[in-house]
A and B are shown apart, each in its own frame.
Chain A
């Protein structure tokens, strides 16, 4: 399958700071990338859909000003958690699909812990 790289794998930060997570498609061009969040023992919840060169589409209940998404190229999308708080602690996972392909491939995930 296609390779999606996500960094960092884990991050610990102080409350009030911002954290940036990168998602790269390594061997294909991802016209669309998706950002998910997963709390312990729960399923993945879609946060937003990121399209290259346009604004991200956020799911209901997700604050766009708190979770900034930039899809600057066909191989890179970033998620910035601004002014992080302990309740933002979660496992954040990106996924990507090639043009015309419905199969999603996931990055390795980022475990965010906000103290």
Chain B
């Protein structure tokens, strides 16, 4: 059973602050890791992916991966109200299948 654990939240952050989201996964064979953003009633939108240990930055987003600890995180800098959504962590398994965590709901308050 592939498991992906995320704190369900809500993670409440003031506008302009950093939101820090964590994710742990059980499958040591996972090679690629994706972060998706999902607004209520909408389908997921890819925002970041990371393959190697360390940090990867893309605009206001930074993904961090530690395969030894089976841990991946997402930082959102300068959080905006439009960042309020549920963020889904998704490691791959068996090729390009994704297992989704339950998601962390982020609420950015103006």
Contact = CB atoms under 8 A, between A and B. Distances in A.
A54 interface: no
Interface size class of A (residues with CB under 8 A): 20 to 34
Nearest to B89: A43
Q: Which label, helix, strand, loop or mixed, suits the secondary structure of the B interface? A: loop
B60 interface: no
Contacts of B98: 34, 46, 104
Given A44-B88, A46-B98, A106 B34 contact: no
Contact of A104 (B42, B96, B102): B96
Contacts of B78: none
A109 B43 contact: yes
With a 10 A CB-CB cut-off, give which of B42, B97, B102 has the most chain A CB atoms: B97
A103 B44 contact: no
A18 B109 CA distance: 43
Interface of B: 32, 34, 36, 41-46, 49, 88, 92, 96-103
